[in-house]
């Protein structure tokens, strides 16, 4: 594989080489993937050139930004985290596929070290901005929600549900409110699980109704928040309410399943939602499904 010289703007950019015929996939950690054989370091703004197919096989240091003109694929051989200010997507970002969902943990975290960037006119920053590119995110958690099989009393440390298949100790769940007050929804972590009995990490503060009365099914819902693919803003967003966002412009494509969106959306800002198709027009066949969106600061989808 031939290499073109590295170019620096303020010492901030690293670019996957872009010369010659289409290359075979190369690892992020391989110096040969990058100009001057230099793997990106903290703060770099990284560019993956057209016709380049890079496998993310390590968790890199926090980046100043990432532009994908070719393809970036998360390896399924290890748990990985990509931390960056933003991702500009003209090519393809893939974590799993419809045929082969991702089975390891994959996390993308958006920081906000540089304030008020406008990466591409009208698309803002702190997110995945898709302009003519394709976003493929496919996690392996398919059982998203169930219902209580009996009433869970206030003070209970366990619940019985209709179907807890695929849920695991350490997963985060939410019990919907069965009261007139929606604030009685409660988030808990699964401490242990046996069949359809779930032991919680702490007591419930409220009663959650789980009965069928006079033929009316009023059993409270229990949802799984945890997914093995997580897209999130860093923790500071909880104070600023300036979270991450995923924005697909016309001619872009998104196929998203089995993904958790956390601390997403930018408060009181038009077109800065956790995930949205922006004036795309006909998006037939595209989707977001089997996802959880929580701690959002500006709508959901």
* Among 87, 4, 73, 83, CA closest to 41: 83
pLDDT at 20: 53
Query: Which residue is listed with tokens 């860093």?
Result: 234
Please report the pLDDT score of residue 116 as a whole number.
Answer: 83
Judged by DSSP in three states, 247 sits in strand
The structure tokens listed for 276 are: 């949205």
How far is the C-alpha of 209 from the C-alpha of 223, rounded, in Å?
15
Instruction: Give which of 213, 193, 209 is closest to 201, Cα–Cα.
Output: 193
Using an 8 Å Cβ cutoff, are 44 and 13 in contact? yes
**Cα(148)–Cα(198) distance, rounded to whole angstroms?**
11
pLDDT at 89 > cutoff 80: yes
- Report pLDDT for 80: 99
Residue 11 predicted with pLDDT over 50: no
Q: What is the pLDDT of residue 13?
A: 47
Give pLDDT, residue 15.
60
Q: Collect contacts of 195-198 with beta carbons under 8 A, ≥24 apart.
A: 195/164, 196/149, 196/160, 196/161, 196/162, 196/163, 196/164, 197/158, 197/159, 197/160, 197/164, 198/158, 198/159, 198/160, 198/161, 198/164, 198/167, 198/173
- What pLDDT shows up at residue 176? 98
Q: Which residue has the higher pLDDT, 55 or 24?
A: 55
**Residue 58 confidence (pLDDT):** 99
Q: Which CATH fold would you assign to the domain 145-224? A: Elongation Factor Tu (Ef-tu); domain 3 (2.40.30)
For residue range 172-186, what is the model confidence (pLDDT) as tens digits? Answer: 999 999 999 999 999
pTM for this one? Answer: 0.90
Supply the pLDDT for residue 51: 85
Give whole-number Cα distances, 276 to 35, 205, 254, 283, in Å: 35, 35, 9, 11
pLDDT of 30 reads 98
Is residue 157 a contact partner of residue 200, using CB atoms and an 8 Å limit? yes
| Mean pLDDT, all residues of the chain | 92
Q: Check if the beta carbon of residue 173 is closer than 8 Å to that of residue 198.
A: yes
Give residue-wise pLDDT tens across range 228-287. Answer: 999 999 999 999 999 999 999 999 999 999 999 999 999 999 989 999 999 888 899 999
The structure tokens listed for 10 are 């303020």
Domain boundaries, the chain: 13-141+228-294, 145-224
pLDDT digits (tens, 9 = 90+) for 105-140: 999 999 999 888 888 778 889 999 999 999 999 999
pLDDT at residue 67 is higher than 80: yes
35 versus 80: which is more confidently predicted? 80
């Amino acid at each position: 594989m031939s290499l073109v010289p590295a170019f620096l703007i303020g010492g901030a950019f690293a670019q996957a080489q872009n010369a010659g015929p289409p290359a075979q996939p190369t690892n992020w950690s391989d110096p040969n993937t990058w100009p001057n054989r230099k793997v990106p370091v903290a703060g770099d703004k990284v560019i993956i050139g057209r016709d380049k197919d890079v496998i993310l096989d390590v968790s890199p240091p926090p980046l100043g930004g990432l532009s994908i003109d070719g393809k970036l694929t998360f390896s399924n051989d290890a748990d990985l985290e990509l931390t960056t200010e933003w991702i500009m997507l003209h090519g393809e970002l893939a974590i799993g596929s419809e045929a082969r969902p991702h089975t390891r943990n994959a996390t993308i975290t958006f920081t906000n070290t540089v304030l008020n960037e406008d990466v591409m006119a009208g698309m803002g920053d702190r997110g995945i901005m898709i302009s003519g590119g394709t976003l493929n995110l496919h996690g392996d958690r398919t059982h998203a929600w169930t219902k209580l099989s009996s009433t869970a009393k206030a003070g209970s440390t366990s619940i019985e549900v209709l179907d807890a298949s695929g849920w695991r100790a350490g997963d985060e769940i939410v019990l919907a409110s069965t009261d007139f007050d929606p604030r009685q929804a409660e988030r808990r972590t699964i401490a242990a699980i046996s069949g359809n009995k779930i032991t919680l990490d702490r007591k419930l503060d409220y009663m959650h109704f789980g009965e069928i009365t006079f033929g009316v099914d009023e059993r409270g819902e229990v949802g799984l928040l945890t997914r093995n693919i997580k897209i999130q803003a860093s923790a500071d967003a909880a104070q600023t309410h300036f979270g991450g966002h995923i924005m697909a412009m016309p001619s872009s494509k998104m196929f998203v399943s089995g993904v958790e969106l956390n601390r997403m959306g930018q408060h009181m800002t038009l077109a800065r939602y956790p995930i949205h198709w922006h004036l795309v027009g006909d998006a037939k066949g595209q989707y977001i499904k089997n996802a959880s969106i929580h701690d959002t600061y500006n709508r959901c989808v």
